A and B are shown apart, each in its own frame.
Chain A
Amino acid sequence: MITIDSLTKRYGAFTAVHDITFTARPGRVTGFLGPNGAGKSTSMRMMVGLTTPTAGSVTISGRRFADLPNPGREVGVMLDASAQHAGRTGREILTIAQQVIDIPARRVGEMLELVSLTESEADRRVGGYSLGMRQRLGIAAALIGDPQVLILDEPANGLDPAGIRWMRDLLRDYADHGGTVLLSSHLLTEVEIVADDIVMIGQGRLVCQGSKAELLQAAGTVVRATDLPALQRALATAGITASVTEDGALRTDAEPTAVGAAAYDGGVPLTELRTADSGGLEEMFLELTADTQRETHRERAAA
């Protein structure tokens, strides 16, 4: 379990992370979502003691990271897969980890197998690794101490589609065995496939948090009928405001039950009725981070 309490980091007048509070729970994958520069990496560095917070605290299984006697045995960390001495081989990097945290040497081979790095790849220097290979090595280094908590910054970066699938299955499996996973991403689709809980930040501030199910529900309902104007009238009669989506359906914040009842009362046959899916969450992601997105500023400046 990772408990983040009022975490704040200021650099002079600039506030990189502002008063963030959330919990990543065991048995669940928590997605830490936000646009580039939102403060995700700074927050994660504070969690593992690489950056000193201006205010607030982080505990891992009830203890501060710095107070963990041998952190590699309790928390697996991957903040930047490229941050390795380019002159060491992949195997050497894992061997150093294995020796520092004092675990059996066989773990090195087991981890290489787990992340599908071949013997010859493992004996090459990481300076020549692709980003995907570095990510795999980083995951191996995070898991080698058999920790209960994983903190991963953009773990899917540089992986090919098969690699992303593999990473997703691995993290799912890990959480299903009781582990706590906190992973960051600036890509919503990546997070929503694997995450149970989602924490969104923008410009260093917490924008929203909750279980994926809750957030999807909050994303509203999508409803479709052959006779769109009739459906619009039926919903209006029931006092439900809805907007027309790009593909000719209606989207509303009302519950599917209420929408279904309104259509029934208006005698409109529906062709589709469901909670808004990824598209809805994405809309919310863009909306919630709208005033924090660089693109928006640029568009406004251009206009």
Chain B
Amino acid sequence: MTATVSTVVDRVGDRRPDVTRIPLSRAVRVELRKMFDTRAGFWLIASIGITGLIATVATVAFAPDADLTYYTFAKAIGFPITVILPMVALLSITSEWSQRSGLTTFTYVPDRRLVIGAKTLTSIAVAVASMLFAFAIGAVGTVVGSTVAGVPEVWDVSLGHALTIVLGNLTCLLTGTMLGMLLRSSAGGMVTYFVITLLVPTMSGLLAASQQWFADLQPWVDLNYAQSFLFDGMQTGAEWAHIASTVAIWIVLPGILGLRLVMRSEVH
């Protein structure tokens, strides 16, 4: 208790001419830091790298020689990423409520859109970095795998296809962002995410198989179905329209509602 206020609080009562608005870049930098500065956050993102390596090794070990192509690797490494990235995006938002840190976050930055915007950009940055990592490690896997198996290297992912895979991952990620805003609860968000990604597609498939009217409607309303166009790399104009329609229904509209709730909700 040696220090007193007067030694560290120098200018109490002064106006602050040097105080400027908090820029987005600073908010992004801080949110990026917050994504890594807890054990849970660190290991969640580290798990992207870890599962990527495991997937690569497993592909080399178990995939038939004929399938040791770049696409096989990219797909194997990409699968865990499509699950983890939405969690990263979701938890970065919900932890402000579940861990109650929002009480300080939103008093330092009262403009909640700035905080949410920074979190979304940060999640996207982590996603893009993860995808680059996946493509790189997939390339290593392809070279190593084909050498081990004694088959020629097959580079069967075009740049365009790689971009749509990134885009597909971003739709998964933004589903997490949307749920984070909409529910503001870590547990609730995760459960809902798996309902949306696992249960809804199954039910949608069953319904489409038995009801002709839904079979026609499905591409327009089934997000998972439309996402497969992005991951499989076969898009026609109609499929792009399906992607736009499902993203609007499942991500954009609920996302706008979620943002409104974030703006209005009371932070306890």
A positions within 8 Å CB-CB of B? 26-27, 45, 48-52, 61, 65-66, 68-75, 77, 79-80, 82-88, 92-93, 96-97, 99-102, 107, 110-111, 113-114, 116, 141, 143, 146-148, 166, 170, 173-174, 177-179
| Min CB gap B173→A, angstroms | 22
Q: Mark contacts of B100-135 with chain A using CB atoms, 8 A cut-off: 1 yes-contact digit, 0 otherwise.
A: 111110111111000000000000000000000000
A48 to chain B, nearest CB (A): 5
* B100 A170 Cβ-Cβ under 8 A: no
* Pair A84/B99 contact, Cβ less than 8 Å: yes
Q: Please tell me if the beta carbons of A82 and B100 are within 8 angstroms of each other in the complex.
A: yes
Bound-state Cα–Cα, A85 to B186, Å: 13
Q: Is residue B238 contacting chain A, with contact meaning CB distance below 8 A?
A: no
Measured between beta carbons, the chain A residues less than 8 angstroms from B26 are 99-100, 102
Chain B residues in 8 Å Cβ range of A178: 12-13
Please provide the 10 A-B residue pairs with the shortest distance between their CB atoms, ordered closest to farther: A178-B13, A87-B38, A83-B100, A83-B103, A69-B21, A179-B12, A50-B267, A173-B5, A85-B99, A177-B12
Chain B contacts of A26 at CB under 8 A? 13
A83 — which chain B residues lie within 8 A by C-beta?
Answer: 100-104
Residue contact B1 to A52, C-beta cutoff 8 Å: no
Given contacts A92-B37, A97-B104, A100-B30, contact A86 B267 (CB under 8 A): no
Interface of chain B residues 2 through 57 with chain A (CB within 8 A):
2-6, 8-16, 19-22, 26-27, 29-30, 33-34, 37-41
Are B103 and A70 touching (Cβ within 8 A)? no
User: B-side interface residues toward A, CB under 8 Å?
Assistant: 1-6, 8-16, 19-22, 26-27, 29-30, 33-34, 37-41, 95, 99-104, 106-111, 264, 266-268
Cβ–Cβ < 8 Å partners of A97 in chain B: 104, 108
Which one of B2, B16, B103 lies within 8 Å of A74 (CB-CB)? Answer: B16
Measured CA separation A143–B19 after assembly (Å): 16
B95 with A177: CB separation less than 8 A? no
| Closest Cβ–Cβ distance, residue B99 to chain A (whole Å) | 4
Would A96 and B9 be within 8 Å (CB), given that A49-B107, A71-B107, A74-B19 are in contact? no
Cross-chain contact A50 with B99 (CB below 8 angstroms) = no
**Nearest neighbor of A175 in chain B, beta-carbon distance:** B12
A-B contact list, 12 entries, CB within 8 Å: A68-B110, A69-B20, A69-B21, A70-B21, A71-B108, A72-B108, A84-B100, A141-B104, A146-B8, A174-B9, A174-B12, A177-B6
Given contact pairs A173-B5, A177-B9, A84 touches B21 in the complex (Cβ within 8 A): no
Measured CA separation A141–B107 after assembly (Å): 11
A contact face: mostly helix, strand, loop, or mixed: loop
Closest B residue to A97 using CB positions: B108
Please name the residue on chain A nearest to B106 by beta carbon: A50
**Cα of A88 to Cα of B30 in the assembled complex, Å:** 14
**Alpha-carbon gap, A53 to B40, bound state (A):** 36
- In the complex, which residues of chain A have a beta carbon less than 8 angstroms from the beta carbon of B3? 110, 113-114
A70-B12 contact, Cβ under 8 Å, with A88-B37, A166-B1: no
Question: In the assembled complex, how far is the CB of residue B95 from the closest CB belonging to chain A, in whole angstroms?
Answer: 6
Bound Cα distance from A276 to B173, whole angstroms: 65
A66-B110, A71-B107, A173-B5 known; 5 new pairs, CB 8 Å cut-off, are A97-B108, A100-B30, A111-B8, A114-B5, A146-B9
Q: Report Cα–Cα, A83/B108, bound state, in Å.
A: 14
Instruction: Give the distance to chain A from B263, nearest Cβ to Cβ, in Å.
Output: 9
B1 touches A49 (CB 8 A): no
B101 lies within 8 A of A73 (CB): no
CA distance A177 to B8 in the complex (A): 12
Task: A222 to B268: give the CA distance in the assembly, Å.
Answer: 44
Looking at B6, B107, B110, the one whose CB has the most chain A CB atoms below 10 A away is B107
In angstroms, Cα B101 to Cα A93, docked, is: 10
In this complex, the member of A51, A96, A97 whose beta carbon has the largest number of chain B beta carbons within 10 angstroms is: A96
Which B residue sits closest to A66, measured CB to CB? B110
Chain A hits for B95, CB < 8 A: 85
Task: List, in ascending order, chain B residues with CB within 8 A of A45's CB.
Answer: 266-268
**B20 closest partner in A (C-beta):** A69
A179→B103 contact, CB < 8 A: no
With A174-B9, A177-B5 in contact, do A99 and B29 touch (Cβ < 8 Å)? Answer: yes
The complex places the Cα of A86 from the Cα of B186 at a distance, in Å, of 15
Task: List residues of chain A with CB within 8 A of the CB of B21.
Answer: 69-70
Q: Are B30 and A146 in contact (CB under 8 A)?
A: no
Q: Are A84 and B267 in contact (CB under 8 A)?
A: no
Flag if A52 contacts B19 (CB, 8 Å).
no
**A174 proximity list for chain B (CB < 8 A):** 5, 9, 12
Across-interface contacts of B29 in A (CB, < 8 A)? 99
Determine how close the nearest CB of chain A comes to the CB of B216; give it in whole angstroms.
45
Write out the residue numbers on chain A whose beta carbons fall within 8 Å of the beta carbon of B267. Answer: 45, 50-51
Q: Are B22 and A170 in contact (CB under 8 A)?
A: no
| Bound-state Cα–Cα, A86 to B5, Å | 28
User: B residues within 8 A CB of A113?
Assistant: 2-3, 8
